């Protein structure tokens, strides 16, 4: 799988169930691109570790995310949807390809609820 399909982990595949979903486990799926999260507006915990994600995008409507697990991906920047995740408390980013520390620190400095950050 290259594009995310959060619907695949739902036992009941309808918008009401997607809207009430607060945690999604999408680790170890070979995901390269984040898409299809629009209906999951109440997700608070998102597991995306051990994939092939290069950009943190298409999560703009998921501003309620508090925990984001992105270890062991191919991220080289934090630009994109992270600026919309105003309530993020835990952000784990170990084993990625992040560059430009000044830009990363600028983005992270705006995350006022951030309590735990893994090693970059």
Tell me the CATH number at 36.
3.80.10.10
**pLDDT score at 86:** 95
Give 3's strand partners: 33
Q: What pTM value is reported for the model? A: 0.95
Reduced 3-state DSSP string for the chain = CCECCHHHHCCCCCHHHHHHCCEEECCCCCCCECCCCCCCCCCCEEECCCCCCCCECCCCCCCCCCEEECCCCCCCCCCEHHHHCCCCCEEECCCCCCCCHHHHHHHHCCCCCCCEECCC
Taking only the tens of pLDDT, the chain with its 120 residues reads 589 999 999 999 999 999 999 999 999 999 999 999 999 999 999 999 999 999 999 999 999 999 999 999 999 999 999 999 999 999 999 999 999 999 999 999 999 999 999 975
Give the pLDDT confidence score for residue 1 in this predicted structure. Answer: 54
Which residue range forms the structural domain that includes residue 66? 1-120
Note the pLDDT of residue 119.
73
**Alpha-carbon distance 56 to 79, whole Å?**
7
The structural domain count of the chain equals 1
């Amino acid at each position: 799988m290259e594009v995310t399909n959060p619907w695949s982990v739902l036992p009941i595949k309808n918008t009401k169930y997607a809207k009430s979903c607060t945690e999604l486990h999408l680790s170890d799926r070979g995901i390269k691109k984040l898409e299809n999260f629009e209906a999951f507006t109440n997700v608070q915990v998102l597991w995306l570790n051990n994939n092939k994600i290069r950009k943190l995008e298409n999560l703009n409507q998921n501003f309620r995310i508090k925990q984001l697990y992105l270890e062991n991906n191919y991220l080289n920047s934090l630009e994109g949807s992270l600026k919309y995740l105003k309530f993020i408390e835990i952000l784990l980013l170990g084993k990625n390809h992040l560059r430009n520390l000044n830009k990363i620190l600028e983005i992270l400095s705006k995350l006022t609820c951030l309590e735990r950050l893994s090693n970059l």
